[in-house]
Every structure is written in C-alpha cells, then in structure tokens.
Amino acid sequence: MEVFLENVIIYTLIAIIIVGILYLYLKTHKYESKQTIEKIKRAKEYGFHEPVSLHPVINEDICIGSGACVVACPEKDILGLVNGKGKLINASHCVGHGACFHACPVEAITLVMGTEKRGVELPHVSQDYETNVKGIYIAGELGGMGLIKNAIEQGKKAMDNIAGTISKGGNIEYDVVIIGAGPSGIAATLRAAEKKLKFVTIEQDNLGGTVYSFPRSKVVMTSPVEIPLYGKIKLYETSKTELIKLWEEILDKNKIKIKENEKVNEIVKYENYFKVITSKSEYFSKKVLLAIGRRGTPRKLGVPGENSEKVYYRLLEPEQIHNKKILVVGGGDSAVESALLLAEEGNEVTLSYRSDSFKRIKPKNLKKIEDAIKLKYVNVLYNSTVKEILEDKVIIDFHNGTSLELENDLVYVFIGGELPNKFLEKIGIKITKKFGEAILKH
C-alpha cells in the first residue's frame, strides 16, 4: 500500500511539473505572439512590412516555430513568431544575410527576390556567376547581394569559377579584368592574386566603391568573413574609414595596386577575349568580372539650378562643413544619416521628403531622426519636393499646393541612383525583373 501511495505521489508531482511547464510555455508563447503582432502593426504603419528586394518567405505548413530563424537574424526584428509560426515583421530591413535560411531546422525558409507587386531588376546570372555573355561574370551588389559579407563571398566564389575556366597559354594580356573595387571587387582581386592569375582591377571612383561614398562616421554592419591572403576578420561594427584602411593594408602588403578614378566606357567581345576600354586606357583579357554597384549614376531631381556647384550627391567630409544652411533631399538611410551628421557640425539642416513619414529606414535611424525633430535639431518637411535651386535659396513645393522659400548654402541629394542598364545592355547582358523569384531554396 505504501509503495502504491509513493507511486501516486511521484506521478502526481510529475504531472504537476508537466502541467506547469506546459502552462509556462503557453503563456510565453502567447506573450511572444502578442509582441510580434504589435511589431507587425507598427511595421505596417511605418511602411517597413513590405519587402523591398531580397527577403525570406516562410512555409507555414512546414514551420515548427523553433525560433532558430529569429535568433539567427543579425538585423533583429525582421522575423518573429505568431502562434508557433514564423512571420515577417520589418521585411524592408532585410539585407539578405541568409542566416535564417541556414538556421531553420526543417528547411521551411526560402530566400526570394522581389514580390508579386514589387519587381526587382537584376542582370541574368547563372549559379557560377556567369552572365548570358559567356566570359563575363557578375558578383556583389549588382547581382542583388548588397550586404558586405555576401558581396565578399560572391567575389571569392566568382573568381574561383573564373580561375577554373581560364585556358592556359595564348598572348592575351590578362586572365581577368575586375571592374569595381568595392567589397566584392576587392575580395575577387585578392583571390585572383592568391591563385596567381594575371589581373587588373579598375575602379571609377576610389577604393571601397559604394562603401567609400558612405558618410565618414557611418557604421558598416558586417559579420565574420574570410578574406583571401589575410584570414578571418570580425567587424560587427566599424566605420567605413577603418574598413577601407584594412583593405588598403591588405593590398599594400601583397603589393596590389587598384587603378582608381578610371571609368570603364565599353567592353567589346571577340571570339576568345575581351577589350575593355576605359577613360584612360585599353585592356585585353580572357574574362571580365563586373563587381560594380547597382546605383550607377545618382538620380537627379530634374529641377532648375540642379547643376549648380552647391549641389552634391554624396557626403564625404561632414566634419569640414560648419555654420551652413543646408538642404538634404531624400527619405532613406543615406539622407537621414547625412542630415544628422551635418546637424552635429553646427549646421542649420532642413530635410525635404516627398512622403508623409519615413519608410524603409533602419530602426536606429528612425529613433535618431524622431529625437532630432523633437529637439528641433533637424527641420523635416514632409510631403515636399524641390521646385528650384537658386544661388542663395531654394524653393520647396508642398503637396497641398503651398510653397516655401529657404535661405540656402548647400544642397545634398540622396534619392537613389539609376541602374547601369544601358551599359549592361550595350555589352549584351540581359536584364530581367524578379517578381518573388527564389534565390536560395532547399
């Protein structure tokens, strides 16, 4: 009888523990779902819920709600759980890191480019990074991978594929011409050197490419990555200056020179080689790797006075600008970050944005600009567009039909850039629009 009672007590305690664990799980589960639903609601209000380019798509029939994808995402609040299923929250902030894809234990995630409503124009590229023009390859931002880590990985892999296809012999000057010296181009350059290929790297601006055009204090988010001829680097948060300095040290150590401020005007294909014509010279090569940015030429406002010397399309030295009346045009991260940096230097900054709220900027930037507005640190003109730029002022039109004249010394325009489609199409590279097409799937 005593043994029976002991067993009853033991089983009762086990049952109580199980019920307690289940209760705590369901309570946590409910709280987590409520939090995610609230975040989704806020994301929709701010315009962050709709994907912009590369983003995860979750198969809810397979998803088991492990939360591995949520934990793995380095950007945070891109994904969450609702009733035990993964959900997109701030989809427009996704940078295509792919950590969620690899972390999912049941392969319920697919990385997709574009949506049914919002297409993304991309050049046609095979799994080997080769375009429809045999011998021309694409890696990095132009191929849809803007994240520094992804761009570096693509640069290395593309060069590996190029190295494996180069025929020996012949009197062609180079094995490969690398166009672009951003993260992807630098990685490809170092890999080419590692594989002892004959190569030349050409950059139309300065070493760093798109990264070089970031404001000096801008923080570049990345994660551990293997750099050829150097090893693993861990730069979770760093300034663009520090990142470019590291690249310069690696290149100098390996006696590699980048041809900066040299623009590629044309690429001519012959039977078994290419002629790359630049603003300074001509190069003959067996292969070509395009590691250029997607922005191409900065998008213009198309208003009178825009060709004035006081109008700029990138901010390089904010610490050199003081006590000026400045207009910043745009509503993305670059515009907001530049406005804040210029305000820090004692300038009177006005930000003109065509929408009624900031959409698709990083949460940190949203918080900073909201605080700056409250403190009257930055004057933001929503629902506005620039009508005319004059020598000492600018004229702003509002969507309600009113206008405003502002005293002005400098204008910075950050409204995106035109894709280098004409350049690509002239070479013969096909451009296609991706409407929710899978880039990575299990």
Summarize pLDDT for 402-416 with one digit per residue, the tens.
999 999 999 999 998
Residue 440 has pLDDT above 80, yes or no: no
Which CATH number is associated with domain 299-417? 3.50.50.60
Q: pLDDT for 257-296, tens place per residue?
A: 999 989 999 999 998 899 999 999 999 999 999 998 765 5
Phi, psi of 349 (to 5 degrees): -110, 130
Six token digits for residue 344: 């820090």
Tokens 């998803």 sit at which residue?
63
Domain boundaries, the chain: 2-113, 121-296+420-433, 299-417
Report the SS3 class of residue 62. Answer: coil
In whole angstroms, give the CA distance from residue 6 to residue 4.
5
Q: CA 338 to CA 300: how far, in whole Å?
A: 17
Q: Please name the helix (run of DSSP H) or strand (run of DSSP E) that holds residue 391, with its range, or none.
A: none
**What fold does the segment set 121-296+420-433 form as a domain?**
FAD/NAD(P)-binding domain (3.50.50)
| CB distance 145 to 95 below 8 Å | no
Does position 391 have pLDDT exceeding 60, yes or no?
Answer: yes
pLDDT digits (tens, 9 = 90+) for 6-63: 666 776 777 677 766 665 655 566 777 888 888 888 888 777 788 777 788 899 999 9
The whole-angstrom separation of Cα 70 and Cα 51 is 17
Angle at 306 between CA 305 and CA 312, to 5 degrees: 135
Give 120's strand partners.
434
Any idea which residue has 């045009």 for tokens?
Answer: 329
* CATH class, 2-113 region: alpha beta
pLDDT one-digit tens code per residue, 350-359: 999 999 988 7
Contact 378, 260 (CB under 8 A): no
| Phi, psi values for residue 139, rounded to 5° | -145, 155
pLDDT classification of 231: cutoffs 50, 70, 90:
confident
CATH topology identical between 2-113 and 299-417: no
Place of tokens 């950590």: 99
What is the b/e burial string over 96-120, where b = at least 16 CB atoms within 10 angstroms of the residue's CB?
A: bbbbbbebbeeebbbbbbbbeeebb
